[in-house]
Amino acid sequence: MMIPAIDLIDGQVVRLYQGDYQQKTNYEYTAKERQDLYASTGATVMHFVDLDGAKDSNRRQLSLLKTLVNHPSMIIQVGGGVRCKEDVQQLLDLGANRIVIGSLAIKQPELIREWIVEFGGEKIVLALDVKIDTNGNKTLPTHGWIKDSGVNLENLLDDYIAAGLIHVLCTDISKDGTLQGSNVQLYRELCQQYPTIKWQASGGIGSLDDIKALLPTGVDGVILGRSLLEGKFTLEQAIACWPKTENNRATAGESSC
């Protein structure tokens, strides 16, 4: 499925280049306007990131988020600065369907596994940003992709799966914001190795061909941010590229792209 994504700073729709707050693009339309457009086009899941909350949980944009998360036809997942159980509960109480956990999933995996058990696997999405070295090792940097956590992706996932993990949003940080295509090989490997996880591919989508390239990998969803905001293609066109199949292992030949 196609998952439109919107990042929010001070109530405005923005995009950061590779997570850098100093490389920010502002867009004129409001988050609600885009959400309504995406919903009318057929999106059933949407992804919001509160970048103010990511910097300071006391600055979380709760009033704005409340207008976005209670949607009659969309599953809404929200991330940005979730640092404690109270943050999770606050966003769920606000109306969010899924809570996206980033750096904390790497730094305190025992705690996040407890949340998965308590709230259920459907309520938690791990957002794992991957850096791939020259030897093919998939490491997970933190602190704005600057600090090496020393944690390997595969080692982290095994214990999470045992706790009931369902959703992982995975970004190859070298692709984020580039519109140069995603890391197809990465998602193919992860889907084969961890077939019980519903993978969300994120980063690099700039054309319909980039979406089509992900069809055989087995990912459950594709995050679309800058490409939709800048009109590289429409959401309707993107949805048409993604045939509905039971196991999401569609082949490129089945696409109308």
Helix (H, G, I), strand (E, B) or coil at 236: helix
Token pair belonging to 232? 């590289």
CATH, range 2-254: 3.20.20.70
pTM reported for the whole predicted model: 0.91
Is 7 noted as a catalytic residue in this protein? yes
Instruction: Print burial letters for 113-131: b (CB count within 10 Å at least 16), e (below 16).
Output: bebbeebebebbbbbbbbb
Token pair belonging to 253? 């030949």
Q: Which residue among 52, 87, 129, 220 is the active-site one?
A: 129
Task: Taking each helix axis as running N to C, give the angle between helix 85-94 and helix 109-119, from 0 to 180 degrees, rounded to the nearest 10.
Answer: 40
Is 220 noted as a catalytic residue in this protein? no
For residue 251, the model assigns a pLDDT of: 45
Please state whether beta strands 12-17 and 20-26 pair in parallel, antiparallel, or not at all (unpaired): antiparallel
For residue 15, the model assigns a pLDDT of: 86
pLDDT digits (tens, 9 = 90+) for 213-225: 999 999 999 999 9
- Listed as ranges, residues in the chain with pLDDT below 70 are 18-19, 142-149, 177-178, 245-257
Domain locations in the chain as residue ranges: 2-254
